[in-house]
A and B are shown apart, each in its own frame.
Chain A
Amino acid sequence: MNEEQEINADEVTNDSQASEEETNISDSTQLEVSEFADKKTLGFGFWLATFWLVLISFLAVFSPILPFKDADKNYIAYEQKENPLTGKVQERPVQPPYAPSGEHWLGTDQDARDILSRTIEGARISLAVGALTALFGMIVGGTLGMIAGYFKGILDKIVGAIFLVVLSFPGLILAILIVALLDRSLLTISVTLGILGVAPIGRLARAQTLSFSEREFVMAAETLGAKKSRILIKELLPNVLIPMSTLAMLVIAVAIVGEGTLAFLGLSVQNSATWGKLILTGSGLSTLESSPWVAFVPMGFLFLTVASFNYLSDRIRDYFDVRDIFVTRD
């Protein structure tokens, strides 16, 4: 469900006019909505979400040198048990999965592999997919959008048409088609998901560029004879970047979810543990019955990460007042 975000990057001017009208209508003496009052603080939730993302990124990046258990090793436990036939006390293996304990903080799966380690291993791939996807979306979408917004005219028309076509594809079907026909490498999956982010990011970049290119500082640079490429990079890019990166955060969230979705369709990154694949392995009837933590631990990590990205994006948009430009439905 939440793979869907609504973004409005066109009609910037229309929206702000509309909201002005709305505020004028009501002459009523009803209570004001104090939502506006705490607008300019980032709030506790913001720092909580940031903390989680920093933590999980840190764990993902440094997991090879951190003292975690080996994600692929089978940690079979043994117990002393009396053999009923011989009457001798013997050391015998205990049937996994093992519930969370001091030894395995978040339990193990049916093959006695440590869930915490596997989940952090999964974070490496899932976050990489998210980051690559956002990067692709920002580079391609941002470039196309800024060019369209700055040069206008025929370029704008062409780029707009490309965005429109990309947006009219059923995204997930497009993704499985590409992935099924090509290969299931990290890069293919990221680029495929990235294509879905190109149009929204591009539209936003276009709208921002369009509105900034008419501002005084850009006009001034133009009259001073600055090169177009210089204006794009020095004057416009910094102003497009903040709104674009809030959208990129949403794209990361969408990509992480997208990877999970592909995993559930049997199409995720080959030969690596991802959050999606971990949840899928844990979601069989017997596994859920005997060891729900196998599915729920990676799911918890995924949820916290996706929710944090959604929330951060939301707060930052509020903070920088880019709310009018696009509406999300995260």
Chain B
Amino acid sequence: MPKPIRRLIGLLGLLTIVSMVTFGAMNFLGDPLFNILGPVAADVDNPESLKVIEEAKAQYHLDKSLPERWARWAWDFVRGDFGVQFSSSGQPPVSDLIKERLPRTLELMAVAQIIAVSLAIPWSVLAASRANRRTDKISTITAFAFVSIPSFAMAVILFYFFSVQWDLLPDTYTATDPFWGISHDHRLIQLILPGFTLGIGSAAAYQRLLRTDLITTLQQDFILMAKSKGVSKRRVLYSHALRPSLFSMITLLAINIGFMIGGSLVVEQFFRIPGIGSAVVEATLREDFPVVLAIVMIVSAGFMVFNYLADYLYTLIDPRVRNEDTSKPRKITSMGM
């Protein structure tokens, strides 16, 4: 079996385990019945309550064994039925919530990635073209500082300067506003502060990687060749050196999409963006298990898929390995939130 397929099957196996662990932990540590019914769940002496309890148990299959309940959940899940929310106000399907909230998180992440990449590229080129000179040293320290600022701190800093002090950018997000547009009543602009919060740290991380790769590339003969052809310095940097240096950054970028979901939890909470990040926080606090489970699955799957893609993405952009069934051992694996 070709390696990519083998790995894909491995990922599916991992996802299954992740769902089992999450499913088990929530039922083991929490009390689903209580979360559905509230205080009534404990009132087993009252025959009327008992009836309600029995009904609820039957409806949510709580009378079945844990593995069986997991299997039912999994079977529904693969068919796209994520179940219903535990909610006192009716039982809206979990998929409604996801459909409403996931796009907002994706928008936020897209804005953040675009900010990160468009900061990182010129920044790295500047630093690499002055390798080990003062500009480069200052930029290395700056990058180091930026990656040491947690996203919640970055949120406070940006909020303080751009919103409180200078009043330049909106800090409130209105889900009903249109996206495209450049006034404070457009979500594109409303996402700038949250986007920078998520994006600056990533930009610094990309810069560290891209700068190193650029310095290596700039020592290659073909750069000298380009110079000797009379290509201007700027063009040498941007059209000759940049592209062959991008591969590890793109790998990191793909992996980082997974991380950003973690970062977006805080950012969504801070800037009050009703995305899946804030949804999972709210659902966890309410112990609304179907929602938590669905989001854990989506996030893990996304995380794994992008990790997986990261290993093959470079085959799409590097003409040298295009059409080849290989996967380079990658230098970056991950730990984090």
Contact = CB atoms under 8 A, between A and B. Distances in A.
- Do A and B touch directly, given a CB cutoff of 8 Å in the complex? yes
B334 A173 contact: no
B325 to A, nearest CB: 18
B292 interface: yes
Given A26-B220, A261-B266, A169 B335 contact: no
Overall SS of chain A's interface: helix
B18 A169 contact: yes
Contact of A170 (B29, B145, B154, B299): B299
B164 interface: yes
B201 interface: yes
Interface residues of B, number: 77
Contact of A330 (B144, B281, B296, B332): B144
Contacts of B280: 173, 176
A183 to B, nearest CB: 11
A27 to B, nearest CB: 7
A318 interface: no
Nearest to A306: B148
B181 to A, nearest CB: 25
Most chain-B Cβ atoms within 10 A of its Cβ — which of A18, A33, A265, A296?
Answer: A265
A309 to B, nearest CB: 9
B160 A288 contact: yes
B163 to A, nearest CB: 8
Interface stretch (B182-190, B202-210, B230-238, B315-323): B202-210
A265 B269 contact: yes
A4 interface: yes
B332 A8 contact: yes
Nearest to A314: B144
B26 interface: yes
B221 A177 contact: no
B287 A165 contact: no
A8 B215 CA distance: 22
A180 interface: yes
A240 interface: no
Chain A: number of interface residues, binned into ranges: 35 or more
A158 to B, nearest CB: 13
Contacts of B285: 180, 266
A156 interface: no
A311 B144 contact: yes
A172 B262 contact: yes
A307 interface: yes
Contact of B22 (A4, A7, A177, A296): A177
B153 interface: yes
B335 A6 contact: yes
A65 interface: no
Interface stretch (A85-93, A194-202, A227-235): A194-202
Given A1-B147, A3-B262, A170-B296, A329 B153 contact: no
18 contacts: A3-B259, A4-B334, A6-B332, A15-B329, A30-B218, A167-B333, A169-B296, A173-B265, A173-B284, A176-B284, A180-B284, A265-B265, A289-B164, A295-B156, A299-B153, A307-B144, A310-B147, A310-B148
Given A203-B333, A254-B336, A264-B266, 14 more contacts: A3-B259, A4-B334, A8-B331, A26-B216, A26-B219, A34-B132, A168-B303, A170-B303, A171-B335, A178-B25, A200-B335, A261-B337, A282-B156, A303-B148
